[in-house]
């Protein structure tokens, strides 16, 4: 892997790290190496690549860029965010115990409750916004602490440094799903975490046109395990997907600045509406995690959730009345999206769990895009007017 150039700024590394001119042709942009295999010079002699499930030059460029932006030594790209999460869980074994922040993505919850227990991995769910609860859940068999921050969908903040220290004392790994924050706004490894996980489908790809995931670590043994198990299980991104993700990464800093500027405007606007019972956005001074977010992040992100006074009928009406906010799964694209966590992103949770986490039938999640902020506020305003009729 090329030596990291940490003296360069984020935007510079996003465009240049791992992306030198192609040695064969001088192409400025990393080519799509659309090949399965590589012609070898002789038995046992190759030019660094043998088979594209194991390694591919386009994928390697993406991995080097992501590692640099997360401040880690090793990046490992996967075919989806869930493949990256499943790949990370190869760092634990049968009989191991994992402490999990209970406000987490529905796909992670489904994997942790319905798949991995069959392989002898145990999970305990805690309110990780209270580090003392994380510490209380640790036991001798604990090998991993899994957190998201900000959380999906309630935008709660978890103290990464505190959880990392708890994991360190227990001899466990601290894993942070950094999808909502992105490497532009937050670097978990710099806060003491051992592993940063991303669904690159979201903000890193940024254009809702490619599925992918990634894991970044500093530890060479962990990287070797991740790469070995990825090769053994096959959850790789194809070269075209890697190239699209790499292209999206180049503009991440520009997009995130606009996402969060727009989200702040939208959050403040929604806070003035009588139809809205609560706005969950860390950029608001009255958000319970505002000070922590200001301390461990470099901005507040582009995601927010609102609770509507009118409950389920109002939420459904809002989701079906917007013009610019498209009703759909996913998040983090340049276009604004609106979603209904109760039956969409968090459908895997039992109703009582959703309610305990603060997700109600009146909760609506917004992925605020990079359109004109005045237009987004006007769209939500007219939709709330219609929902209130």
- Report, as residue numbers or ranges, the catalytic residues: 53, 105, 177, 202
Name 123's bridge partners. Answer: 98
Check if the beta carbon of residue 187 is closer than 8 Å to that of residue 70: yes
CA distances from 256 to 15, 51, 109, 157, 200 (A): 15, 35, 27, 19, 14
Question: CB 368: neighbour CB atoms within 10 A?
Answer: 28
State the Cα–Cα distance between residues 67 and 352, nearest whole angstrom. Answer: 39
- Half-sphere exposure in the Cβ direction for 280 (13 Å, CA): 24
Q: Provide CB contacts within 8 A for 241, sequence distance 6+.
A: 79, 210, 211, 212
State the Cα–Cα distance between residues 252 and 248, nearest whole angstrom. Answer: 7
Q: Can you read off the two tokens belonging to residue 266?
A: 């939208």
């Amino acid at each position: 892997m090329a030596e990291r150039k940490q003296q360069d700024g984020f935007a510079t590394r996003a465009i240049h790290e791992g992306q030198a001119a192609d040695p064969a042709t001088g192409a400025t942009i990393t080519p799509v190496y659309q090949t399965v295999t590589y012609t070898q010079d002789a038995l046992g002699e190759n030019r660094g690549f043998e088979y594209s499930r194991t390694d591919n030059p386009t994928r390697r460029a993406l991995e080097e860029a992501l590692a640099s932006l997360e401040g880690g030594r090793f990046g490992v790209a996967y075919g989806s965010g869930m493949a990256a999460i499943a790949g990370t869980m190869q760092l634990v074994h049968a009989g191991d115990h994992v402490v999990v922040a209970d406000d987490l993505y529905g796909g992670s919850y489904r994997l942790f409750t319905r798949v991995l227990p069959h392989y002898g991995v145990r999970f305990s769910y805690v309110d990780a916004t209270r580090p003392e609860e994380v510490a209380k859940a640790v036991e001798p068999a604990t090998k991993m602490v899994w957190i998201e921050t900000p959380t999906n969908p309630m935008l709660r903040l978890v103290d990464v440094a505190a959880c990392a220290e708890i994991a360190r004392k227990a001899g466990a790994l601290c894993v942070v799903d950094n999808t909502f924050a992105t490497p532009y706004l937050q670097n978990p490894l710099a806060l003491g975490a051992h592993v940063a996980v991303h669904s690159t489908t979201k903000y890193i790809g940024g254009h809702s046109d490619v599925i992918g995931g990634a894991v970044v670590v500093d530890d060479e043994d962990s990287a070797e395990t991740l790469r070995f198990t990825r090769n053994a299980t096959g959850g790789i991104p194809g070269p075209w997907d890697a190239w699209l993700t790499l292209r999206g990464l180049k503009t991440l800093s520009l997009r995130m600045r606009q996402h969060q500027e727009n989200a702040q405007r939208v959050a403040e606007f929604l806070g003035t509406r009588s139809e809205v019972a609560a706005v969950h956005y860390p950029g608001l001074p009255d958000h319970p995690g505002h000070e922590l977010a200001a301390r461990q992040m470099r901005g507040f992100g582009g995601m927010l959730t609102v609770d509507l006074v009118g409950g389920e009928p109002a939420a459904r009406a809002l989701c079906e009345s917007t013009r610019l906010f498209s009703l759909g799964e996913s998040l983090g694209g340049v276009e604004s999206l609106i979603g209904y966590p109760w039956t969409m992103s968090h459908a895997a949770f039992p109703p009582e769990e959703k309610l305990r986490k603060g997700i109600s039938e009146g909760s609506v999640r917004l992925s605020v895009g990079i359109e004109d902020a005045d237009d987004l506020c006007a769209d939500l305003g007219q939709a709330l007017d219609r929902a209130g009729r």
